[in-house]
Chains A and B, each alone.
Chain A
Amino acid sequence: MAYISFMERFRIPTYDDPATGTTGRVEIDRELCNGCGRCAAICPGKAIYMAGKGTRRKAGFDQDFPQCMSCNDCAAICEQGAIAVTEPYWFAYRFKTLDRGPFSAPRHFPGGTQDARP
């Protein structure tokens, strides 16, 4: 079973078209956001910007041309829990994303295997 066809392997689109691939997506809860700006400061893709002044200063996600690689650094650094990465990046054709399921937090798989070992 081919995961990626011969033709797909040699097609390299620009990925500007959402049909051929999209960047990550970040959702920001503007109610919870306190405008500290840490997420925008650490975002490696400059996909998050700060806008507004004073108490209305809030983080926003660049909708036009975000360079989000769904690294989740913004969600981890946000003390308010206002940020969630909702979609991972994916690509079609040559760099087709394979064998992925949806997002999940770390799972623990309780089963007591640690204590049960002889």
Chain B
Amino acid sequence: MEEVAVAQSLASVAPTAGEWTAVEEQVLRRRSVRKYKERQVPEDLVRRVLEAGRFAPSAGNCQPWKFVVVRDRAIIDEMEHDIRLACRLFAFLMDWRTSPIGRGPALFMHKLNATLLPNMLHPIPTGAVFAVARGDLMAFHGAPTVILLCEDVRGVSKPEVDLGCCGQNMVLTAHSLGLGTCWVGLVELLKRPKWKKRFGISYPYRFCEGIVLGYPFGEPDGMVPRELQAIDWYENGHKKIVY
């Protein structure tokens, strides 16, 4: 196929206003909420959110998910505490700026681990782990309700993708109900015997992601700018790149 140079000049993609559908509104206006009011979310709303998750598409309709809802302040605080301890261990071993083991060894550990765990130790989550260790950031952001998404590892094809669909259904529904949500990947650090036992999570289930739910602090919604993506577009025997 013949490749055509960038078809649409970037100047022509200025934002335009218009009528959005109800779904577009939810998608575009929702922001991740990382500060919550203490007020608990009523049970019926949480049930509605879970219901939206239940109706997510999944490969072969395998529904490879299990939901664990935690609304107990003591348990959330304990999870927060344990995640923070794990983050402090990471920071001790790998934060080259502050580690007591010295810059050289810490950098070595950082590079080794970032090679072995490139997703977890992308620079952004690495920064988040160090921020949690310092006490600048909370894993669960003080939210009153936490939904842990567990994955049935025997799911058809790619169960993690199905969990993504399921969670997206839930966060958009929660947004339409006036709730704030945030995905919490740091639940990865709860993959330890203590918490698996506590929640009764064993094969074939594993902790995959967490979603926190609560009433947001302030008015966090709004449409904001975002980077355009280079999209390859094949049509009529040509390839073009659109933004």
- Whether B122 sits at the interface, judged by CB under 8 Å, is yes
- Whether B230 sits at the interface, judged by CB under 8 Å, is yes
A residues less than 8 Å from B31 (CB atoms): 71-73, 76-77
B residues less than 8 Å from A14 (CB atoms): 96, 107, 110
**Is A85 touching B229 in the complex (CB atoms < 8 A)?**
no
**Is B16 touching A108 in the complex (CB atoms < 8 A)?**
yes
> A88–B226 Cα gap in the complex (Å)?
8
Contact flag A106-B223 (CB < 8 Å), given A14-B96, A101-B10: yes
B residues less than 8 Å from A79 (CB atoms): 219
- Whether A61 sits at the interface, judged by CB under 8 Å, is no
In the complex, the chain A residue whose C-beta lies closest to that of B35 is: A42
Give which listed residue, A10, A46, A71, A88, contacts B131 with CB less than 8 A: A46
Q: Which of B50-58, B111-119, B148-156, B188-196 contacts A (4 or more CB under 8 A)?
A: B111-119
Minimum distance in angstroms from B229 CB to a CB of chain A: 6
**Is B118 touching A44 in the complex (CB atoms < 8 A)?**
no
**Is A107 touching B218 in the complex (CB atoms < 8 A)?**
no
- Whether B40 sits at the interface, judged by CB under 8 Å, is no
**Is A46 touching B137 in the complex (CB atoms < 8 A)?**
yes
Contact flag A91-B123 (CB < 8 Å), given A46-B131, A106-B15, A108-B20: yes
**Is B128 touching A105 in the complex (CB atoms < 8 A)?**
no
**Is B137 touching A44 in the complex (CB atoms < 8 A)?**
yes
> A94–B117 Cα gap in the complex (Å)?
12
Minimum distance in angstroms from A86 CB to a CB of chain B: 9
Contact flag A75-B224 (CB < 8 Å), given A21-B123, A44-B34, A44-B137: yes
In the complex, the chain A residue whose C-beta lies closest to that of B228 is: A101
**Size of chain A's interface in residues, with CB distance under 8 A?**
39
In the complex, the chain A residue whose C-beta lies closest to that of B225 is: A103
Give which listed residue, B19, B124, B221, contacts A76 with CB less than 8 A: B221
Question: In B121-162, which residues have CB < 8 Å from any A CB?
Answer: 122-124, 127-128, 131, 136-137
In the complex, the chain B residue whose C-beta lies closest to that of A72 is: B224
**Is B229 touching A73 in the complex (CB atoms < 8 A)?**
no
Give which listed residue, B28, B122, B243, contacts A106 with CB less than 8 A: B28
A residues less than 8 Å from B123 (CB atoms): 15, 21, 91, 95
For the complex of A and B, list the 9 residue pairs with the smallest distance between their C-beta atoms, beginning with the closest: A101-B228, A105-B15, A76-B222, A108-B18, A72-B224, A103-B225, A99-B230, A100-B227, A101-B243
Residues of B within 8 A of A (CB): 10, 13-20, 28, 31-35, 96-97, 107, 110-111, 114-115, 118, 122-124, 127-128, 131, 136-137, 217-230, 243
